[in-house]
Structure 1
Amino acid sequence: MKGGYSLSTTSELNSGMDLREVVISLLAGDEDAAAVNVRAADMAYRAELRGVAEELARAAFTRGDRAALHTAHWVLGDIYDRCFSLPPIEQVDSLLGELLDDIRSVLENAMLADLSGRMDHSALACVPRDPESFLPWYRNFISSHTASNHPFYRDFLEKRASAEDLRFYLAQETSLDPRFDDILSFLTVGTNGAEKMELVQNLWDEMGNGNPAEVHTTVFAKTLADAGVSKEFIDSNIMLESLVCGNVSAALALSRRHCYKAFGYFGVTEYLTPRRFRSYIVGCRRLGMPGSAYVYHEQHIQIDARHGPAWFKNILLPAIAREPRCAAQIALGTVMRLETSTWYLDALQTRLELAG
């Protein structure tokens, strides 16, 4: 062992904080692959680890302990970061993923169950199952939701936000934007025809159409750097609601059983991006900020103006035509995105207005 938290099979695991320390230690490679594999083969240890995760889930999602909720989302976020990363060479023969999956499944299922329990499901009772009726219903449902025209954008960002407010906002957006290209890659698996072509075209645009300097993650990283949004600033200022949005996004993209929910969820993301980013640009220009502060957002206004409608036509409609029952799953994912987005924007606006 290199040092750090000891993965003892004695009852050291007794709190959410201990669980995060274990996860951090595992991810850091504090034990070599052979030692981790011993843990993975120890069913008593894995049961104990899962029990700690279950207790954290109860505290966070059942009892509403906000500190536990933060811990649960940090743990999930740490695990999701690994899912979107290449493994260190020291871990290629490790069964680390099995230990992390035990934790992830407990917290992820609790998170999604909690989200479902807090959502308004009333609109889901009348979801059309035929493509011709679904699309008008879908567009109207999105446009009539609070998240579609939230005052944070049209009122606060455009008219009242300070430069520091915009910097704080950019930090919150890091829970999704830096990994959207990888999310598209995961969503592409198993698709074909128009669905695959649309996802690949979307991914190619994210890749700057082959120009490394125009890759969207690169441009976003430069935007953050120019705005003084460092990793330390993000870690110190990221809101719980931002973590929730990032973790729900990751959960839906990574689990194949959630693929239809993901189609609805990310369809909303694509559809609403142009109007939201336009408000950010209005705020930047009002404050006299340089173009480098919003070049990423200008690109997405132009690109996503095409991708939103194309996502509906080439992904959602073929999926429903092939399997009408998936319309309910697509609609559920849509509600998940709209509701978590509303909670995030409500919290963000409240936080910045109080700070101002």
Structure 2
Amino acid sequence: MTTTSRCSSSLRFADGFHRQLAQLNDGRLRATRTSGDPEADLDREIQIRRLELAYIEHERGVISDRIAHVPTQVNAFIDWFESLKQHGPGQGDALFPWLAEYASLSQMRWFLTQEVAGEAGFDDLVALTQLGLPDQAKLELARNYWDEMGRGRQEGMHGLMLRNTSVELKLAPRIDFTVWEALALANTMLALASSRRYAYQSIGALGVVELTAPTRVSKVCEGLRRLGISTKGYRYFQLHAGLDIKHSEDWNREVLRPLVLADPACAKLIAEGALLRLRCGERCFERYRREFGIGQLSHQQAA
């Protein structure tokens, strides 16, 4: 594919596409009563699957050159995966030091509205991804899910903590007020987790969130504390700044390592998922900086 045709194809999977898919995905994971027209439900699901397939396969094509160089020997692969924390797309972005030090309350509210709208629900994504995995990987995803569920305590549920932030800051995320880059992130994560075709990509995408999130969320937490938000309001970010470091270590040891050791070919699929997720984040950060009128710094300056 030429550069021109690739850019033209990429435009297809931008604003209008992701708004349409986000509308179709709205409520997709919610439990509902058996009512309405089952054939219409089936047609809607097929429509979603076709849109997801076209989009994910396009994105896989965009990163195919980079995937070709991913090592499949287990130790080399883990080293490559862990290096994404420093060198992956979107890492060291200037947005987060700026949020920590300079963002106003209204700017922080706008940023978090986008982030909440782009949140696909990590607990549900983990639950979907663990289906049919080998025992060791399934057990680690179960432990991760149990942490997301507050280890059985409602007040400790991570999703509830994020909702507490939304309530305190009076956030009202809506698809029509959300930038398409944030919608694309949520659409991507759900597309990977909901299809067994992309099970390994979902493992990579979830694993790289655990790997890269601590630095970013710690900066968001700093900004919220600077702005006078309560402990309840920033608890979600404070918790993940530390907990995700352990989650990442466990994920790499208990999920990635045994999977690649058993089947080296899955390394490139896991890598695809990681890069797809990081590319989504990078697009979001660039869009947010444009909204705030701030530029990008070097990785060293932004660190």
Question: TM > 0.5 between the two?
Answer: yes
Aligned equivalent of 2:166, options 199, 211, 224: 224
Unaligned regions of 5+ residues in structure 1, if any?
1-59
2:301 matched to which residue of 1?
none
Give the TM-score of the pair, scaled to structure 2. 0.88
1:124 matched to which residue of 2?
67
How do residues 278-297 of structure 1 correspond to structure 2 at under 5 angstroms?
A: 278-297=218-237
Change (3 A) 1:244 1:63: closer
How do residues 294-309 of structure 1 correspond to structure 2 at under 5 angstroms?
A: 294-309=234-249
Alignment length, in residue pairs? Answer: 288
Change (3 A) 1:187 1:176: farther
1:276 matched to which residue of 2?
216
Identity of aligned residues (%): 25
- Deviation digits for residues 188-246 of structure 1 (CA, Å, limit 9, x no counterpart): 11123221111011100110111112211111111101101024xx3453111000001
2:81 matched to which residue of 1?
138
Q: Which AA in structure 1 matches 2:46?
A: D
* 2:26 is aligned with 1:86: no
Give the TM-score of the pair, scaled to structure 1. 0.75
1:323 matched to which residue of 2?
263
- Deviation digits for residues 103-156 of structure 1 (CA, Å, limit 9, x no counterpart): 11332122223323444x4432222212122111221244212422111112x2
- Deviation digits for residues 81-122 of structure 1 (CA, Å, limit 9, x no counterpart): 34311123324x723332013311332122223323444x44
Change (3 A) 1:201 1:61: farther
Distance 1:248 1:65 in 2: 15
Bigger RCO of structures 1 and 2 (CA < 8 A, at least 6 apart): 2
Once the 2 structures are TM-superposed, how far is the Cα of residue 73 of structure 1 from its aligned partner?
A: 1.7
Unaligned regions of 5+ residues in structure 2, if any?
1-6, 295-303
Note the aligned Cα RMSD (angstroms).
Answer: 2.2
2:193 matched to which residue of 1?
253
Distance 1:279 1:273 in 2: 10
Is 1:175–1:245's contact at 8 Å kept on the other side of the alignment? no
Distance 2:202 2:12 in 1: 28
Distance 1:194 1:183 in 2: 18
Q: Which AA in structure 2 matches 1:62?
A: S
Is 1:161–1:283's contact at 8 Å kept on the other side of the alignment? yes
Distance 1:63 1:326 in 2: 26
Distance 2:265 2:254 in 1: 17
- Deviation digits for residues 144-200 of structure 1 (CA, Å, limit 9, x no counterpart): 12422111112x212221111111111111245462111111011112322111101
* 2:138 is aligned with 1:191: no
- Deviation digits for residues 5-31 of structure 1 (CA, Å, limit 9, x no counterpart): xxxxxxxxxxxxxxxxxxxxxxxxxxx
How do residues 32-71 of structure 1 correspond to structure 2 at under 5 angstroms?
A: 62=9, 64=11, 69-71=14-16
Q: Which AA in structure 1 matches 2:111?
A: Y
Change (3 A) 1:146 1:126: closer
Distance 1:63 1:340 in 2: 13
* 2:295 is aligned with 1:351: no
Aligned equivalent of 2:52, options 94, 99, 108: 108
Distance 1:143 1:166 in 2: 25
Is 1:153–1:279's contact at 8 Å kept on the other side of the alignment? yes
Once the 2 structures are TM-superposed, how far is the Cα of residue 289 of structure 1 from its aligned partner?
A: 2.6
